[in-house]
Amino acid sequence: MTPSSLGILGGGQLAQMLALAALPLGVRAVVLEPDPQAPARLCAEHIHAAYTDPNGLDHLAACDAVTLEFENVPVEALARLEGRVPVRPGGTLLARSRHRAREKEALRAAGVGTAPFVPIEAEADLPDALEQVGGRGLLKTSELGYDGKGQARVNSAVELNAAWERLGRVPCVLEGLVAFEREVSLGVARTAAGEVAFGPLVENTHRDGILRTSVFPARVPGGTEDQARDLARRVAEAWGLAGLLTLEFFQLPGGELLVNEVAPRVHNSGHLTQDGGGISQFEAQVRAVLGLGLTDWFPLHPCAMVNVVGTADGSEPDWAAIDALPGTRRHLYHKAPRPGRKLGHVNLVAPERETLHARLAELERLIP
């Protein structure tokens, strides 16, 4: 088999784990990333330059294909690559998924339900906006928000005006507050030839706006996975996906799924696929992007993930106790600790669900 190369825009932990998944497939990763301490530098060729650096981009253009690990890649970078090397997902899809209002409009156009929302572009959009979404909502910046950043809960017109000021009067979306029963997510991959494959349906919990745990299998009513796959296929086909994307859903009490967000890449909720015995989401993205043959990817055993996030008081997980818990595996990102920063995750695999949940409760006690 001819060794091949994969260019990655961004060098964070997702790039690190993509690069690690690529190696056994005979694929070397090259990352373009301005941060000298980027996690992926340890296992990939690191082009230490701005995302728009012409030489850096020319280096990526020499790879067999280019993918990304975050959606806020500058448009100029994509423009320099497109036409020279396959960029998957491509610029049109990225332009949608990096902008909350455009993303929601494109989801609705594909026949996929979302929370009620009103785009807030200017002060004139503020009056009446809260009523239109049901009286209580979340104001989110349309661009550059992640892990609960760039968001504010609002319960009155006064709070909405204040929140918009605080967020810098930038374009936002006001979303109605969804009284969901649970949050789940699912990955979908599509090759340039139009082959579609799916990841597992995973159940997620959040803490302070940041993902805390993911669990497979998700505890959901019958039919939920088919519904999620149907919605994911619709988005993948309507948006002309080449590569992998992840949908985050809210499940309503009646069972209906609304899409909260789409990430044009592997996702934190899919990390448990690294240790469930099947193909990981990282391998699936590498395969989809390079056209290496694709099947559904899902764990063969019940498994879970707990994120390790920097704490305000600097307290750390009890690593010795974590290592002593059967079925755990550490995945650390080699990042300097900071409160609220994702530093790693611990995966847990167990022979059956009851054991998984008992050990997950124990694992959660060991990770502050």
Which chain residues interact with ligand AMP by CB under 6 A?
Answer: 115, 138, 148, 175, 177-178, 183, 206, 209, 248, 260-261
Minimum Å distance from CB 291 to ligand AMP? 31
Closest CB to ligand AMP among 203 and 261? Answer: 261
Minimum Å distance from CB 24 to ligand AMP? 32
Minimum Å distance from CB 251 to ligand AMP? 12
- Angle at Cα 334 formed by Cα 330 and Cα 340, nearest 5°? 85
* Among the listed residues 228, 196, 201, 206, the one whose alpha carbon sits nearest the alpha carbon of residue 216: 201
Say if CB 137 and CB 177 are below 8 A apart.
Answer: yes
* Residue 123 CB burial class (10 angstroms; 0-12, 13-18, ≥19): exposed
Q: How many CA atoms does the CB half-sphere of 135 hold within 13 Å?
A: 1
Closest CB to ligand AMP among 22 and 138? Answer: 138
Minimum Å distance from CB 211 to ligand AMP? 8
Minimum Å distance from CB 72 to ligand AMP? 14
